[in-house]
Amino acid sequence: MFYSTAASIKTIEAKPLFDALHETGVLFYSPTEAAQALELIYPKLDQWWNEQKRCEAVKKLREKYALTNNQSLILLKSLIKNISDNAKNPHIKVKL
Locate the domains of the chain by residue range.
1-65, 67-96
Determine the distance from the C-alpha atom of residue 78 to the mean position of all C-alpha atoms in its chain, rounded to a whole number: 22
Q: Burial-class residue 17 by CB neighbours within 10 Å (0-12, 13-18, 19+).
A: buried
3-state secondary structure of 24: coil
What is the per-residue pLDDT across 21-57, written as a single tens digit (0 to 9) for each?
999 999 998 899 999 999 999 999 999 999 999 999 9
Least confident of 14-18, 30-34, 43-47, 84-88: 84-88
Q: Does pTM top 0.75 for this prediction?
A: no
pLDDT of residue 83: 78
Cβ 82 vs Cβ 94: under 8 Å: yes
